[in-house]
Chain A
Amino acid sequence: MNWNFIIFSLVKLAVIVGVVQGLVAYSVLAERKISAWIQDRVGPNRTAPPFMKYVPVLGPLLTRLGMFQPLADGLKFLLKEDFTPAGVRKIYFWLAPALAVIPAMLTVAVIPFGSNLGAQKMVMADLNVGILYTFGIVSLGVYGIVLAGYAANSKYPFLGGIRSSAQMISYELSMGMSVIPVLMIAGNLNLSTIIGWQAANGWLVLYSPLSFFIFLVASFAETNRLPFDLPEAETELVGGYHTEYSSMKFALFFLAEYSNMVASSAMMVTLFFGGWTLPFWGLDHPATSLLLGVAHIVVFMVKMLAFMVLFIWVRWMFPRFRYDQLMDLGWRRFLPLALFNILVTAIWMWMRAK
């Protein structure tokens, strides 16, 4: 057993989980702030610990930006009464929130979020089927929602669960198909190798913009975000699959949704936008110094946060799709389009090889 490996893996694990949780907390804040700006409101600007008013300049500024709001939210979720309604199916009621969060957190394991710091590669698990692993784990994420709907033993959550299972299976297909041209061009399933290919030949979004577009829309559907948040459409289903949930169990569904957003943003950055590389300033090859390694991580984070903002922005700009429109879009528009894209890419590669 290699103790060095174990210790560094544990450290990486702790840091990744911490960063993802922090990102989730503050993307909820970003969601509220951005929605407020879009709707010409102010957003959260009051919450602060009592000693903050004695800190000059910085204290009022941070309070105005709502920087302490996530702390208050988290505390509220932890302290509220954890209510279990009568008539729920107990085991599944307890299991479902956990089943929603676990896959969301596991997806991040294969994503290379930097080149290396010293001798350590900045990825948890450099699998040779990295992208298939992600799809496998993502496809398991649907059980959390389906079982939540089933466990609640009431009509609206049940409809939410049914909708989500149909929606996620449909869009998983388009999502998987949309990535195939990328894999054909890069010629590998390993995410680090795909990033390496992009550093040498240019970002894959330039080679296959249609793939990126389908992947982007499908990931909105997979994360149940508006315009495709049918499983929790408030106007039709009260709260959707999590209607009966309260306190920390509800928070876990929230956590799962935002972790999924983080994971799919990271995935899009890795597959289409060169991961931790930038084509200039010599940032396109693995780091030789500690400073360069940190710079790579920063580049990755900035790209990822840009996608997070896009997720939030779209949510407040577009109305919800109707359910039949959603299915129509998935099966009769995107699936043929993705297949066509594969064909075109294959022909293009064949012509170039000749």
Chain B
Amino acid sequence: MGLPDILFYVFAAFTLLFGLLVVANPFSRNPVTSAMFLVLTIISMACLFVLLNAFFLAAVQIIVYAGAVMVLFVFVIMLMDLKEEERRRIKTFGVVTGIVSVGIILSVFLKSLLGCGDSCSLPAVAGAAPVVEGDAHSLGLLLFTKYDLPFEVISVLLLVAMIGVITLSKKDLK
């Protein structure tokens, strides 16, 4: 087991641990603490991307999620001045929708993991550098050729969400 393997297990463990602490922290019910653990989860995931040689993805993960989205989360939590939330009763509706959405994501992962058989495992070349180069060039090429349509669809989805937010936050809009 080489250093990358050890690092993978370390960061994978960190990701799971921090992820658990976001939702079920036994020491603190402070929402800011949860948000900070989510930041740590995101950073550990970025480290996993680095181990896969996907440097671009790792950098973007940190810039967008840890650096911008989570700062806004913390911003909103602070502005609303949320007190430590008491232990709520768990609602049935929340449990059902939660399990369904996790199940759907899990099935997508399993399908892509099991469905491709040998074709998605890396060609094992002893001692050579990994073939996967997750640099900006190859990623951009793939995004704008093979995955062009999904990419555009997602961007339209984001645009719709953005317009929705603006409409909701403008109270005096007629």
- The interface of chain A, by Cβ under 8 A from chain B, is 92, 127-129, 132-133, 135-140, 142-143, 146-147, 149-150, 158, 161-162, 165-166, 168-169, 172, 176, 189
Residue contact B62 to A139, C-beta cutoff 8 Å = yes
Contacts of B67 in A (CB 8 A): 135-136, 138-140, 142, 172
Q: Mark B78-112, 1 if CB is under 8 A from A, else 0.
A: 11000000000000000000000000000000000
Residue contact B60 to A132, C-beta cutoff 8 Å = yes
Residue contact A132 to B75, C-beta cutoff 8 Å = no
Once the chains are docked, how many angstroms separate the CA of A143 from the CA of B55?
23
Contacts of A166 in B (CB 8 A): 75
CB distance from B63 to the nearest CB of A (A): 5
Whether, in the assembled complex, B68 has its beta carbon less than 8 Å from a beta carbon of chain A, the answer is: yes
Among B39, B66, B78, B79: residue with most chain A CB under 10 A = B78
Q: Mark B25-51, 1 if CB is under 8 A from A, else 0.
A: 000000010001001000000100000
Once the chains are docked, how many angstroms separate the CA of A169 from the CA of B78?
16
Q: Assuming the A-B contacts A135-B63, A139-B62, A140-B66, are A189 and B136 also in contact, with contact meaning beta carbons closer than 8 angstroms in the complex?
A: yes
Residue contact A129 to B78, C-beta cutoff 8 Å = no
CB distance from A125 to the nearest CB of B (A): 11
Once the chains are docked, how many angstroms separate the CA of A138 from the CA of B62?
10
- The interface of chain B, by Cβ under 8 A from chain A, is 32, 36, 39, 46, 55-56, 59-60, 62-63, 66-68, 71-72, 74-75, 78-79, 135-136
Cβ-closest chain A residue relative to B78:
A150
Contacts of B46 in A (CB 8 A): 136
Which residue of B36, B59, B75, B136 is within 8 Å of A165 (Cβ)?
B75
Contacts of A128 in B (CB 8 A): 55, 135
CB distance from A9 to the nearest CB of B (A): 15
Residue contact B39 to A169, C-beta cutoff 8 Å = no
19 A-B residue pairings within 8 Å (CB atoms):
A129-B55, A129-B56, A129-B59, A129-B136, A132-B55, A132-B59, A132-B60, A135-B63, A138-B67, A139-B63, A143-B39, A143-B74, A146-B71, A147-B36, A150-B32, A150-B78, A165-B71, A165-B72, A172-B68
